């Protein structure tokens, strides 16, 4: 239950990133916001590490952490933002719903996780819920999609699914604080050279306080706390189950839009939310590789 609560919490915080991030982008460039996110989170995790038990990371794992940072942060965040700049928000939202499907395929190839009928059914049901929610919110949306932007958003999902699957061993060995403090440092090093000119061009004297609060949430809520939650959940749950909670993000964005008065709650949204939760439940009940191995031993 703890793993599910943490995965849900992380995706709720990421769901809030859509409206809050859009607000921040009114004052800062996408590259600047992403760099603030990486550098700010790195500082927060290093500060937190002072108050927790120190873990020694061997040199071999430091190299693995660098590649984990590339797939979980640099490629995932950077490629998605660039793709989003080329396509419409609706198209980008639809593409993000492919994460559980891609993760299931990657886990089947890399971890030899079985592709069961229940798992396929759960992902299909959840995807239908997410798509119904997105399409029901499409009316009044502006901006046309772009195939290159859509493909880049797809690459971002593939990048994160590789991280969830290929680097699960690191989450079993080290605490989320240790993992994140190094991963965000590596990600910061990758971003700073490309964003330096954008950041130095910012006129801080005319930036409104609300924009600074938006950035503070992006750094602390949408990154610091969210990544602690998702990495702890990754330690407790299978990659496909963790990725299923990705469907919560359009639900959160929809609820926020209703609260802010820019959206309405209709029967389509109600059905969509039920389908998403049903999909997560079905995938959770599907058998893992360990379940099949245990059944084989008992025969």
Task: For residue 220, name the pLDDT band (cuts at 50, 70, 90).
Answer: very high
Q: Averaged over 225-252, what is the pLDDT?
A: 82
pLDDT at 214: 92
The lowest-confidence range among 50-54, 57-61, 70-74, 260-264 is 260-264
User: 3-state class of 97 per DSSP?
Assistant: coil
Q: Which residue has the higher pLDDT, 27 or 19?
A: 27
pLDDT at 243: 76
pLDDT at 68: 94
Q: Averaged over 186-191, what is the pLDDT?
A: 94
Q: Which residue has the higher pLDDT, 244 or 24?
A: 24
Other residues' Cβ atoms within 10 Å of the Cβ of residue 206: 7
Which residue in the block uniquely carries the two structure tokens 């859009």?
22
Other residues' Cβ atoms within 10 Å of the Cβ of residue 21: 21
Q: What is the 3-state secondary structure (H, E, C) of 39-75?
A: HHHHHHHHHHHCCCCCCCCCHHHHHHHHHHHHHHHHH
pTM: 0.76
Q: Averaged over 57-67, what is the pLDDT?
A: 92
Whether the Cβ atoms of residue 115 and residue 123 lie closer than 8 Å to each other: no
> For residue 145, what are its two tokens?
């999609």
Residues whose CB falls within 8 Å of the CB of residue 73, separated by 6 or more in sequence, listed in order = 38, 183, 184, 186, 187
Cα separation, 159 vs 147, in Å, equals 18
Task: For residue 298, name the pLDDT band (cuts at 50, 70, 90).
Answer: very low
Task: For residue 50, name the pLDDT band (cuts at 50, 70, 90).
Answer: very high
Q: Averaged over 92-101, what is the pLDDT?
A: 70
Cα separation, 184 vs 2, in Å, equals 25
Cα separation, 34 vs 43, in Å, equals 14
pLDDT in tens, 195-212: 999 999 999 999 999 999
> For residue 220, what are its two tokens?
């602390």
Other residues' Cβ atoms within 10 Å of the Cβ of residue 71: 20
pLDDT in tens, 108-142: 777 777 777 887 887 788 778 777 766 665 554 44
pLDDT at 190: 93
Other residues' Cβ atoms within 10 Å of the Cβ of residue 81: 20
Which residue in the block uniquely carries the two structure tokens 């969210």?
226
The lowest-confidence range among 5-19, 27-41, 146-160, 208-222 is 146-160
C-beta contacts of 206-209 below 8 A and 24+ residues apart:
207/27, 208/27
Task: For residue 295, name the pLDDT band (cuts at 50, 70, 90).
Answer: very low
Model confidence at 297: pLDDT above 60: no
Tell me the Cα Rg of the chain: 19
pLDDT in tens, 245-266: 877 777 777 677 667 665 566 6
pLDDT in tens, 272-286: 767 777 777 777 676
Model confidence at 37: pLDDT above 50: yes
Q: Which residue has the higher pLDDT, 144 or 188?
A: 188
Cα separation, 184 vs 29, in Å, equals 20
pLDDT at 289: 58
Q: What average pLDDT does the structure give for the chain? A: 80
pLDDT at 41: 95
Cα separation, 56 vs 175, in Å, equals 11
């Amino acid at each position: 239950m703890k793993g599910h609560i943490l995965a849900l919490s992380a995706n709720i915080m990421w769901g809030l990133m859509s409206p809050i991030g859009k607000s921040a982008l009114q004052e800062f460039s996408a590259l600047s916001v992403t760099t603030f996110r990486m550098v700010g989170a790195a500082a927060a995790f290093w500060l937190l590490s002072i108050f927790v038990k120190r873990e020694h990371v061997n040199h071999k794992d430091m190299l693995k952490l660098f590649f984990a940072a590339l797939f979980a942060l640099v490629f995932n965040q950077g490629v998605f933002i660039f793709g989003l700049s080329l396509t419409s928000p609706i198209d980008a939202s639809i593409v993000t719903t492919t994460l559980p499907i891609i993760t299931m395929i990657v886990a089947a190839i890399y971890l030899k996780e079985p592709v069961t009928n229940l798992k396929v059914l759960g992902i299909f049901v959840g995807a239908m819920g997410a798509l119904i929610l997105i399409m029901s919110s499409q009316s009044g949306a502006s901006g046309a999609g772009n195939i290159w932007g859509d493909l880049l958003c797809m690459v971002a999902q593939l990048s994160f699914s590789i991280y969830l699957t290929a680097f699960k061993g690191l989450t079993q060995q080290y605490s989320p604080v240790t993992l994140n403090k190094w991963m965000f440092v590596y990600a910061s090093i990758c971003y700073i050279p490309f964003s330096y000119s954008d950041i130095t061009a910012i006129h801080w004297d005319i930036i409104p306080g609300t924009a600074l609060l938006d950035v503070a949430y992006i750094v602390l809520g949408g990154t610091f706390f969210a990544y602690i939650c998702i990495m702890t959940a990754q330690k407790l749950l299978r990659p496909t189950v963790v990725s299923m909670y990705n469907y919560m993000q359009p639900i959160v964005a929809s609820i926020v839009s209703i609260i802010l008065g820019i959206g309405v709650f209709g029967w389509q949204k109600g059905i969509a939310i039920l389908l998403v939760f049903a999909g997560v439940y079905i995938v959770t009940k599907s058998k893992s590789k360990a379940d099949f191995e245990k059944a084989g031993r008992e025969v």
